[in-house]
Structures are given as structure tokens and as C-alpha cells.
């Protein structure tokens, strides 16, 4: 037991040093030298921002398949308390949520000319708005706050991630047909801005070979998705993941987004991936590229070193009710309890371990025993669909 504790402590210390360098990218020189801010820079940095969007709400909600933008205004108060009103355009966005949500996600487009006149970077004029989705105010807000917290957890693990800003938003119908709607929302920075911040550009071609992607960053992305119980992503199909190609043409960096199918949130509309053998949205399955056992083990040690910080972030997020916080902590604890034996015992085949659905040491040892007895093929008993 003492030996195991010493091994775990050593592993944690080692991975803190190793993954301290996970921030691959430097700020793009052009933007840094200009000293300009983006509209996201202006709107972010506070715990919560109050905004008002005025537009033809009925048109926005009902005509969600349209690719046309609607005229709108975006109102907020600056740091001095002055009311600012900016002209914008809005459009329903997304795929699944766009189709099934009571209130669809929204793309916000600021006028490049307006941004330029304010001395802001005109190129980064598009923001994603994650909306409450469900009309039920309590459920919609709780789901959204959980997703916001997931973005924050990933920000804690790596700067190679989307920046987000929590907002309290009032929707006003300019046609006067609908009453005001007040909910929480999440503003997500422009993808081009995120890519530039990481020192690269978005790479939009699917079926990228695994050796073109940064092994370290892919391992962190994959283990994070496993930790939160999210199987709704793919670097191959570019599903809910952006690939950033650094300007130096180095390995591409995966940046995940859209976590509403995560077991950690457990939304009522999320559908488990039956083709992967998942029966519940709370099931976990590792979908990363299991090509580098050392990178996987490094990521495992890094996550274990971050355990206290990540759990405390959830415990201290008082905007969520204590019941929801307790549920999220308990779900994360199941992840940490399951990976602990692998973190302290380097003799365990980490690739084989993470082939198992809801991987745990008991099931892994049982599978090993059956394999040694020749009762199962080397790939049987696993739930990964190649």
C-alpha cells in the first residue's frame, strides 16, 4: 500500500511537470503587435454578463431551418456602467439541437465595419450562443450551467480550448408577439479567433490520419470526453471537434465543443450511442486514438494530479443547486476511482483497459483471466466498434 502511494505521488509530480507544457501555441504575432481586442475580449472576463437581444423572436424560433440572418440588436453595459447597443444579425445554428430544442442555438454576427470603427479586430465577428434549449426554466438553466462548467473544466486542463462567457440574457420580440424570455446562455469565442490564439488556422478536412494530430493533445481531449461520459465526438468526422493546424505546420490540435450529450450533464434529450454498445447516456467508452500508451498514461497521471482542482470547481459552482453539484461530483468520482489502479500500476495494459465500456479493474482482470484460458478472442469482451 505504501509503495502504491509513493508510486502515485511520483506519477502525479511527474505529470504536473510534463503537462505544464501542454500549452503548445503562442499568441499570433500580428494580433499581439496590433494591441487590439476582439468583441469577445470586450464581452468576457466577468463572472456573468447581462445582455439583451432584440429581434423577431417568432421568426428565429419557428424558421430554424433557414440560412438567412435576421436583423437584431445586442445590448449590454460596459465596465463603467454605460449602456452599449450594437447592431447584429442572428441565425439559428447547429444540427441536433437546432432541430429538437424549444429555443434553438444561435449564431451572432457583428458588423465588421462596426467593429473596425470601435477599434476592435473586425475579422473575429462571429460568436456562438448556446441557448437554454428547453422551455422549462429550471431544467433548461441547469443543463446550460452544467455545460458551461464543463467548458470551464476543460479550460483548466488546457489553454487549447474555446473561451466561453456565461451570460444572463433577455430576449425581446421586436414584433410584440412574444413576451420577454429571460434565461442563461453561453457565448463561445469565434473559431477563427480561437485558432489564431493557438497560433494556427482551422483545418476543415475530414478523415485526417491519426499521425497528423498531436498525440499529447489528442490524449487529453479523449480522456476528458471519457471522464465526462461523452461519446458524441470524432476527430475523423470532425463531429463536435475542431482541428487547428499550427502556422509552423506541426501536429494538429483537437479542440472539442458541444457537450450536451455528456453523461455529466445527463440531459433528457440525449441519446446513447447504441452502435457503440452504450445503453445509457451515463455509460463511458474511450474513443481516442490508442496508438501511444505513454501519452495515454501521461494524460491519466495529469488528470489524477488535477483531481482536487476539478472537483473543487464543481463543488464551488454555487449557481448550480447542491443536488446537481453532488451528482456531478459523484459521477466524476466514479471516473477517478476506476482509473486509480491504472495510474499506480504501470504493468496494466492501458490500451486494453480502455477498450472496455465503463472500464474498471475488476472487469479488466476478469477479461484477462478469460483470455488466458482461451475462452475469448483477444478483442472479445470489449465494446469499441472499429
pLDDT (average), residues 127-138: 96
**pLDDT, position 21:** 42
What is the rounded average pLDDT for all residues in the chain? 90
Is residue 248 situated within a structural domain? yes
- Residues 237 and 153 both lie in one domain: no
Q: Alpha helices, DSSP H only, in 207-292?
A: 215-228
- Residues 148 and 40 both lie in one domain: yes
Is residue 381 situated within a structural domain? no
Compute the distance between CA of residue 169 and CA of residue 88 in angstroms, rounded to an integer. Answer: 15
**pLDDT, position 18:** 44
- Residues 222 and 358 both lie in one domain: yes
- Residues 108 and 250 both lie in one domain: no
Is residue 263 situated within a structural domain? yes
- Residues 48 and 76 both lie in one domain: yes
Q: Which of 19-23, 39-43, 332-336, 376-380 has the lowest mean pLDDT?
A: 19-23
Contact between residue 105 and residue 29 where contact means Cβ atoms under 8 Å apart: no
Cα–Cα distances in angstroms (integers) from residue 276 to residues 129, 335, 381, in the given order: 30, 19, 13
pLDDT tens, position by position, 293-311: 999 999 999 999 999 999 9
**pLDDT, position 377:** 60
- Residues 271 and 155 both lie in one domain: no
- Residues 348 and 242 both lie in one domain: yes
- Residues 138 and 261 both lie in one domain: no
- Residues 54 and 18 both lie in one domain: no
pLDDT level of residue 249 (50, 70, 90 thresholds)? confident
Is residue 384 situated within a structural domain? no
pLDDT tens, position by position, 352-368: 999 999 999 999 999 99
**pLDDT, position 378:** 58
Residue 29 pLDDT > 50, yes or no? Answer: no
Of 171, 194, 217, which marks where a domain is finished? Answer: 194
Residue 3 pLDDT > 80, yes or no? Answer: no
- Residues 131 and 253 both lie in one domain: no
Is residue 378 situated within a structural domain? no
Backbone Cα Rg of the chain: 22
Of 178, 194, 210, which marks where a domain is finished? Answer: 194
Of 142, 167, 194, which marks where a domain is finished? Answer: 194
Residue 381 pLDDT > 80, yes or no? Answer: no
Compute the distance between CA of residue 79 and CA of residue 362 in angstroms, rounded to an integer. Answer: 55
- Residues 245 and 337 both lie in one domain: yes
pLDDT tens, position by position, 141-155: 999 999 999 999 999
Q: What are the φ and ψ backbone dihedral angles of 328, each rounded to 5 degrees?
A: -65, -40
Residue 16 pLDDT > 50, yes or no? Answer: no
pLDDT level of residue 60 (50, 70, 90 thresholds)? very high
Which residue range forms the structural domain that includes residue 343? 2-25+200-372
- Residues 232 and 252 both lie in one domain: yes
Is residue 31 situated within a structural domain? no
Cell numbers representing residue 334 in the block: 466514479
Is residue 264 situated within a structural domain? yes
Cell numbers representing residue 173 in the block: 420580440
CB atoms inside a 10 Å sphere around CB 385: 10
pLDDT (average), residues 206-212: 95
Is residue 287 situated within a structural domain? yes
Partners of 154 in the beta sheet?
Answer: none
**pLDDT, position 8:** 54
Strand 181-188 with 126-130, pairing: antiparallel
CATH code, domain with 237? 1.10.1070
pLDDT level of residue 22 (50, 70, 90 thresholds)? very low
Compute the distance between CA of residue 278 and CA of residue 332 in angstroms, rounded to an integer. Answer: 18
Which of residues 210 and 377 earns the better pLDDT score? Answer: 210
pLDDT level of residue 4 (50, 70, 90 thresholds)? low
**pLDDT, position 27:** 47
pLDDT tens, position by position, 267-282: 999 999 999 999 999 9
pTM of the model: 0.90
The structural domain count of the chain equals: 2
Amino acid at each position: 500500500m505504501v509503495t502504491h502511494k509513493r508510486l502515485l505521488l511520483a506519477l502525479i509530480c511527474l505529470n504536473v511537470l510534463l503537462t505544464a507544457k501542454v500549452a503548445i501555441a503562442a499568441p499570433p504575432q500580428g494580433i499581439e503587435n496590433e494591441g487590439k481586442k476582439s468583441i469577445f475580449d470586450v464581452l468576457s472576463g466577468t463572472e456573468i454578463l447581462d445582455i439583451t437581444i432584440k429581434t423577431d423572436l417568432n421568426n428565429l424560433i419557428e424558421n430554424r431551418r433557414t440560412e438567412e440572418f435576421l436583423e437584431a440588436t445586442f445590448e449590454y453595459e460596459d465596465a463603467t456602467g454605460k449602456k452599449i447597443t450594437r447592431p447584429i444579425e442572428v441565425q439559428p445554428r447547429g444540427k441536433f439541437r437546432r432541430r429538437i430544442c424549444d429555443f434553438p442555438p444561435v449564431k451572432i454576427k457583428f458588423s465588421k465595419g462596426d467593429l473596425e470603427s470601435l477599434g476592435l479586430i473586425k475579422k473575429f465577428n462571429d460568436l456562438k450562443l448556446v441557448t437554454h434549449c428547453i422551455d422549462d426554466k429550471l431544467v433548461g438553466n441547469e443543463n446550460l450551467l452544467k455545460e458551461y462548467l464543463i467548458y470551464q473544466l476543460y479550460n483548466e486542463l488546457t489553454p487549447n480550448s474555446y473561451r466561453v462567457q456565461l451570460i444572463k440574457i433577455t430576449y425581446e420580440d421586436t414584433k410584440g408577439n412574444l413576451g420577454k424570455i429571460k434565461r442563461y446562455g453561453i457565448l463561445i469565442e469565434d473559431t477563427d479567433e480561437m485558432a489564431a490564439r493557438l497560433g494556427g488556422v482551422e483545418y476543415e478536412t475530414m478523415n485526417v490520419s491519426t499521425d497528423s494530430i498531436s498525440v499529447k493533445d489528442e490524449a487529453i481531449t479523449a480522456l476528458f470526453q471519457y471522464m465526462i461520459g461523452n461519446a458524441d465526438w470524432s476527430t475523423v468526422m470532425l463531429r463536435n471537434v475542431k482541428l487547428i493546424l499550427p502556422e509552423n505546420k506541426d501536429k494538429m490540435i483537437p479542440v472539442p465543443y458541444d457537450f450536451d450529450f455528456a453523461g455529466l450533464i445527463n440531459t433528457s434529450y440525449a441519446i446513447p450511442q447504441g452502435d457503440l454498445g452504450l445503453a445509457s447516456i451515463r455509460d463511458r467508452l474511450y474513443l481516442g486514438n490508442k496508438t501511444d500508451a505513454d501519452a495515454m498514461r501521461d494524460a491519466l497521471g495529469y488528470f489524477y494530479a488535477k483531481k482536487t482542482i476539478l472537483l473543487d470547481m464543481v463543488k464551488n459552482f454555487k449557481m448550480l443547486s447542491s443536488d446537481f453539484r453532488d451528482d456531478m461530483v459523484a459521477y466524476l468520482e466514479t471516473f477517478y476511482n476506476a482509473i486509480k489502479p491504472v495510474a499506480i500500476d504501470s504493468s496494466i495494459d492501458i490500451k486494453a483497459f480502455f477498450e472496455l465500456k465503463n472500464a474498471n479493474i475488476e472487469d479488466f482482470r476478469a477479461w484477462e483471466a478469460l483470455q488466458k484460458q482461451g475462452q475469448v478472442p483477444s478483442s472479445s469482451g470489449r465494446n469499441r466498434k472499429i
